[in-house]
Chain A
Amino acid sequence: MDVIPKKPAESMEPIEQIKARIEAAVPGASIEILQNASPSQQHSLKIDNEHAHDVAKWLHDDPALRLDFCSNVTGVDWLDRTVKKMVKVKKVVDGEEKEVAETTEEKIPGYLEAVYHLYSMTHKHGPVIIRMRTADRAAGARLPSLTPIWRSAEFQEREIFDLYGIRFDGHPDLRRILMWDEFEDYPMRKDYREPDDYEYEPTPHDDVLERAKRYYTPRPQIDGAESIVEPLNG
């Protein structure tokens, strides 16, 4: 049998060109290409939060791209980390100039990230991956919602809010979706510690019993013997 080559997805313009076109179309937007070293070669665009809505709208409406299908929306939690880099520095050692390798440490504060995988059902190409990052990992971390542009983000952004704790501004119905409403923590965060007992409720045993003792005089024993506990109010 002849080997028929696998049909490549309909060719899409390179990501550098998309970046340049966004910057021309949305003034002030700062776009950064995040390279992906893995064999999948799926590079992504980091978009800034202020212009996220405009950029997403442009990606959706641009006739050449027409990214009308937002397939996957997800969160990623990046903890604080230090990156060690080997840098070669020229130094004078014993009167001779030598190249010496030095390690420098760079501290990168943690952040939460929302990732959108966009495809086009009209032109049948994709994916274009866009990412947004929060400033920090605090409980009130915020990002703009893209649900007004792609309805498919509705439940998925709710899920990110539920499991990662990113609040999406402009989401029509931001509630917990998988965990119950009274749940307090965000279980998909990397530093989440699960409680010993999910159903723990304070019982009246300790504090309440102690207080109750002050108001109740002990009952006389059935056999007529005197109580050994002295009444507190007595």
Chain B
Amino acid sequence: MSVTIETLEAMERPPVSMGSRLEGELLEVSMGPQHPSTHGVFRMNVALEGEIVRKLKPVFGYLHRNHEKIGENASYLGSMPYTDRLDYFCSMTNNWAYALSVEKLAGIEVPERAEYLRVILAELTRLQNHASLLGFLLNDMGAWGTPLMYAFREREKILDLFESLSGSRMMCDYMRFGGCRVDASPEWLAHAKKIVDRFPRFVDELEQLIVGNEVVIARTQNVGNVSPELAVSAGITGPMLRACGVNYDVRKVDGYGFYPRFKFRIPLGEHGDTYDRLMMRVLEMGESVGILKQAFEQVPTGPIINPKVKIRAFRPPVGEAYGRIEAPKGELGFYLISDGGTNPYRYRVRPPSFINLTILEDMCLGHTVADVMVILGSIDIVMGEVDR
């Protein structure tokens, strides 16, 4: 960490009511990029007064590889494996968002079985993402290792499912325009069903660990509050938005895939603090298990890919499309402009965790440095997606 000292006059000083504290200087600390709790190479320049955060500026770009430029120089299908590397925890939902946008652009229909498989895989992704996020968050709060290992135990089972279906644990590259790449065998579905049936035990266990835990409550309640007005204006999406009490879930609003066929509820928070954000993940896991159980019952037989879609020299008509899905971290969108060629003229990713970081400073002001870690952890960022 590099440390520079700045005089008090140089920075605006908000009113402090710290009782008999001595007047101090503001200390500028550069947190990250090599900090264990920044979940990758994220850096914040923080101005501290004692332990209290007075200013915070995020610094991006340590993992920037200009994903969008690569996408513009690759063919439509050629970008599909690159989307795995955006949010490398949730490659299935990344694939789906990209496939959905191209399907909108070219007007492609998806067979019924493929839509069900997509729902199943997206919800499995949500389960393992939320489980590992909670593990990491408790890790940041000082529950060193144990909850994370419990979460990883469950995540590993789901990653094994992904591996046996797509050949890869994390870089699945599973979806295709108009369907999916390989079919799921009945044995795979039966095995997945078994794992999903056992999953609520883990959710209950984790919920028990969090809900009444004195340390968790002390560290998270009333920390990093976000008002619903600010959240909507700043384009916050996903569990972080719903923790503020705003009912907006793309699965319900757009009704993409076959989500309108499933019965599920949208958990909503009340206070918009870190504790609510934590609980959103726990409750969403429960709803995802419900969706998965319905999907396993309903999944039909049939083709898994639309045979009319060209694999070679795939050229969507001239035009543009913006498609979005509810990824575990928020609204993941792809904006594509086609000039009639084999490459997209413009390929844009709307990364949820990048935009969720817009209000990081607003959430952290007035809290201690130790709370910054917890607040950042509750946003759920992955640098592969933030920096692209």
Contacts and interface: CB of A to CB of B under 8 A. Distances in A.
Interface of A: 1, 4-10, 36-40, 42, 68-72, 74, 76, 115, 117, 121, 124, 127, 129, 150-156, 163, 177-180, 187-188
Contacts of A38: 104-107, 316-321, 338
B251 to A, nearest CB: 11
Contacts of A127: 322
B47 to A, nearest CB: 15
Given A40-B104, A115-B335, A152 B61 contact: no
Given A152-B355, A155-B358, A187-B66, A36 B320 contact: yes
B298 A1 contact: yes
B319 A72 contact: no
A39 B177 CA distance: 15
B255 A121 contact: no
A151 B360 CA distance: 13
Interface of B: 60-61, 64, 66, 68-69, 104-107, 230, 232-237, 246, 248, 253-256, 258, 260-261, 298, 300, 316-324, 331, 333, 335, 337-338, 345-346, 348, 350, 354-355, 357-359, 387-388
B357 A187 contact: no
Count chain B CB atoms within 10 A of each CB in A39, A40, A70, A115 and give the residue with the most: A40
A178 B233 CA distance: 23
Contacts of B320: 36, 38, 40, 42
Given A9-B254, A121-B248, A152-B358, A178 B61 contact: yes
Contacts of B300: 1
A121 B232 contact: yes
Contacts of A76: 337, 345-346
A72 B235 CA distance: 9
A180 B333 CA distance: 26
Question: Which 9 pairs from chain A and chain B are nearest by CB?
Answer: A38-B319, A152-B235, A39-B107, A40-B321, A7-B255, A151-B234, A178-B61, A72-B350, A40-B104
A32 to B, nearest CB: 16
Contact of B61 (A6, A10, A70, A180): A180
Contacts of B255: 6-9
Nearest to A35: B319
Contact of A152 (B106, B234, B258, B335): B234
Nearest to A68: B232
B322 A117 contact: yes
Contact of B322 (A1, A124, A129, A187): A129
Contacts of A39: 104-107, 317, 319, 321
A5 B236 CA distance: 29
Count chain B CB atoms within 10 A of each CB in A37, A151, A156 and give the residue with the most: A151
8 contacts: A36-B320, A42-B320, A72-B333, A74-B335, A74-B348, A152-B236, A163-B68, A178-B387
Given A71-B331, A179-B61, A155 B355 contact: yes
Given A1-B298, A36-B319, A70-B235, A188 B337 contact: no
B105 A40 contact: yes
Given A6-B255, A69-B232, A177-B61, A155 B354 contact: yes
Contacts of B331: 71
Contacts of B387: 178
B237 to A, nearest CB: 8
Contacts of A9: 253-255
A177 B60 contact: yes
A190 to B, nearest CB: 8
Contact of B260 (A4, A37, A115, A121): A4
Contact of A151 (B107, B235, B350): B235
Contact of B350 (A6, A42, A71): A71
B68 A188 contact: yes
A38 B75 CA distance: 18
A1 B294 CA distance: 12
A121 B254 CA distance: 12
A81 to B, nearest CB: 10
Count chain B CB atoms within 10 A of each CB in A8, A71, A156, A188 and give the residue with the most: A71
A150 B324 CA distance: 19
A204 B358 CA distance: 43
A177 B254 CA distance: 31
Contact of A154 (B61, B104, B261, B358): B358
